[in-house]
Structure 1
Amino acid sequence: MKLKDYMMGLGTGIVIGIIASQAASKMNFNRSAELVLSDIKKSFKEEGPIDGSWIYMSPEPFQKEAISLHVYKGGISRVKNGELEQFEFAADAKTGTVVDLVKV
């Protein structure tokens, strides 16, 4: 009887695990906007100091050619060679990858 109870518990645990993993894979998990901005700032800091940065905290739909996804939009400013440079970016909300960068 104890082996039967153990096997039923093990089977139930496996089934619940499979259902939970399938449900988690269907959910939409985004990286936090703060982490995305931090990664972008690190990339810019490799070329020199930055003056300021900003990011919208909620993802927005983005369409460019055949690409359609949700992005965080933001910007970075820095002084390079004595001149102010400003950039606006769009970064994929799931991965943090910059998909669009424009010098303003």
Structure 2
Amino acid sequence: MKIKDFAAGILTGVAAGIIVNQAFQKMNPNTPAEDVLHAVKEAFKKEGPIDGSWIVMKPEPFTNNVLTMDVYRGGISRIKNGELEQYEFAANAQTGTVVELIQK
């Protein structure tokens, strides 16, 4: 096998990988914020149905006494025992971990 043929095969494989990755990203239009909201909704659904939800698509800075990070802010509402419950949350923009949950 010639070195030219080997290099051409490597370059073809890299180009194909890039094209497949771009096609996959176009087919999966979810943003990180939507992924975070989906995860929070799934956690709430374990306790019962959800009435509504929202999330701010742009991360914002969040600081508690120890940590500083970018978070997505959002909310969940549901009916529990005939009463409306509303929650607001902040989730780490990198990991999706809920770092703040407040019942309104």
Q: Give the TM-score of the pair, scaled to structure 1.
A: 0.71
Gaps of 5+ in 1: 10-30
Return the offset for 1:55: 0.2
Specify the alignment match of 1:84 in structure 2.
84
Return the offset for 1:75: 0.2
SS in 2 for 1:49: coil
Specify the alignment match of 2:71 in structure 1.
71
Return the offset for 1:84: 0.3
Q: Percent identity?
A: 60
Gaps of 5+ in 2: 8-30
Q: Give the TM-score of the pair, scaled to structure 2.
A: 0.71
Deviations, residues 35-85 of structure 1 (Å, cap 9, x unaligned): 000000000000000000000001000011111000000000000000000
Larger radius of gyration: 1
Specify the alignment match of 2:96 in structure 1.
96
Structure 2 residue 44 is the aligned partner of structure 1 residue 44: yes
Specify the alignment match of 1:32 in structure 2.
32
SS in 2 for 1:72: strand
Question: What one-letter code is carried by the residue in structure 1 that aligns with 2:59?
Answer: P
Kindly report the root-mean-square deviation, in angstroms, between the aligned alpha carbons of the 2 structures.
1.4
Q: Segments of 4+ in structure 1 off by > 4 A?
A: none
**CA–CA distance in structure 1, aligned partners of residues 102 and 86 of structure 2:** 9
Specify the alignment match of 1:59 in structure 2.
59
Residues matched between the structures, number: 78
Return the offset for 1:87: 0.1
Aligned pairs for 1:8-23 (under 5 A) are: none
**CA–CA distance in structure 2, aligned partners of residues 103 and 39 of structure 1:** 18
**CA–CA distance in structure 2, aligned partners of residues 57 and 66 of structure 1:** 25
